């Protein structure tokens, strides 16, 4: 299977109404684009931050490596977006050597943001990276929603805000009513109408247990605007099968260019051994250098050292998983002086919580500060 034609076009040059070849009827593509071509959410009078992103778009690809689903920062008293913290954090991650940034993911509290706030976060991140000398770094934008229509709208918002790729969850709210092919058609329709390429986000815990199997993802990988997947299901066998079938990109071989990615830092080594392309991991918000180090050392051939690093990172990742976004932000605040609080109704950590979170991250932060 070849994905050599899957490189994204600059956003400004995309014809959002041009049908894509799906391997089934051209008519379906034309219908999808006709139905979803009109915007119902964009408000030009309320798009200052998004429209201020430079009109000149750089052609960005997805290199193999570590990607960070960035946390979103808020002012403590008002819960307004803390734009300075959002920008500084993105630059800190880029300087640590990550391959790319993901906004509007689970760690980014996308479900707590309005459409306009989502656009602002992405545009601020893009501008901060550009101004710091990282204009070539790609941004993946979480665009999951329950309806096909809103998901496409979010993909369009991501494109105009400076995003290069969209990360899309399957719909789940009406799961009992969905037919066997509904999710496949959902991804095909979104990919056909999206102005930017998409990655399939398989995260059963966030979507009522919906767990796409390898057959479904391999089938969807044949769509020319689906360029990768993120497997937060943690199923390494599934990753192996998808990577092999798609000839996924690896650090040693670009292959088809399809990105078969793990969804957490605790199986970075397993992903690499299994032929994967990288990880999109929340732990890298706190310790980006440590996460990147596993990737780099593995490529030197020092398996023993890689295993040791993976053990430290896996223990730190368990602290991140157990503490969730509240614990991740608390650790950032404790060890790096910023982080703040999550939006309500997520709880404020107590003194005891803060100590517990700090203890869970202590070992991996020590590794981070040694690099």
- Dihedral of CA atoms 292, 297, 299, 300 in degrees, nearest 10, equals 150
Q: What would you report as the CA-atom Rg of the chain, rounded to the nearest whole angstrom?
A: 20
Q: Which of 119, 156, 230, 329 is catalytic?
A: 230
Active site includes 355? Answer: no
Going from the C-alpha of 307 to that of each of 11, 272, 281, 312, 335, the distances in angstroms are: 40, 12, 18, 9, 25
| Exposure b/e, 253-268, CB count within 10 A at least 16 = b | ebbbbbbbbbbbbbbb
- Peptide bond before residue 14 is cis, with ω within 30 degrees of 0: no
**What is the 8-class DSSP label of residue 254?**
-
Half-sphere exposure of 259 (CA within 13 A, CB side): 32
Residue 127, classed as helix, strand or coil, is helix
Q: Is the dihedral of CA 8, 10, 13, 15 positive or negative?
A: positive
CA dihedral 102, 105, 108, 111 (to 10 degrees): 150
Q: Which of 51, 56, 124 is nearest to 90 (CA)?
A: 124
Could you list the active site residues? 230
């Amino acid at each position: 299977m070849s994905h050599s034609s899957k490189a994204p076009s600059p956003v400004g040059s995309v014809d959002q109404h041009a049908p894509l070849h799906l391997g089934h009827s051209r008519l379906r593509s034309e219908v999808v684009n006709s139905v979803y071509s009109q915007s119902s959410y964009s408000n030009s009078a309320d798009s200052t931050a998004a429209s201020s992103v430079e009109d000149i778009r750089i052609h960005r690809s997805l290199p193999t490596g570590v990607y960070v689903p960035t946390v979103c920062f808020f002012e403590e008293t008002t819960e307004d977006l803390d734009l300075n913290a959002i920008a500084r954090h993105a630059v800190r991650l880029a300087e640590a050597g990550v391959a790319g940034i993901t906004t509007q993911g689970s760690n980014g509290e996308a479900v707590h943001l309005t459409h306009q706030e989502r656009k602002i976060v992405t545009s601020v991140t893009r501008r901060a990276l550009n101004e710091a000398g990282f204009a070539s770094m790609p941004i993946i934008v979480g665009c999951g929603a329950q309806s096909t229509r809103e998901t496409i709208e979010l993909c369009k918002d991501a494109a105009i805000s400076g995003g290069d790729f969209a990360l899309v969850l399957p719909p789940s709210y009406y799961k009992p009513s969905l037919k066997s092919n509904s999710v496949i058609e959902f991804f095909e329709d979104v990919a056909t109408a999206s102005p930017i390429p998409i990655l399939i986000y398989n995260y059963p815990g966030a979507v009522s247990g919906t767990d796409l199997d390898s057959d479904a993802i391999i089938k969807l990988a044949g769509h020319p605007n689906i360029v990768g997947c993120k497997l937060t299901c943690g199923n390494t066998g599934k990753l192996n099968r998808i990577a092999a079938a798609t000839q996924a990109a690896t650090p040693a071989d670009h292959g088809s260019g399809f990105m078969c990615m793990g969804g957490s830092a605790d199986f970075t080594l397993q992903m690499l051994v299994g032929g994967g392309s990288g990880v999109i991991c929340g732990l890298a918000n706190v310790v980006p250098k440590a996460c990147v180090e596993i990737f780099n050392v593995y490529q030197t051939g020092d398996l023993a050292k890689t295993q040791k690093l993976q053990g430290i990172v896996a223990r730190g990742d368990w602290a991140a998983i157990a503490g969730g976004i509240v614990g991740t932000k608390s650790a950032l605040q404790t060890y790096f002086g910023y982080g703040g609080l999550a939006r309500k109704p997520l709880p404020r950590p107590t003194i005891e919580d803060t100590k517990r979170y700090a203890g869970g991250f202590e070992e991996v932060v020590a590794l981070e500060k040694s690099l």
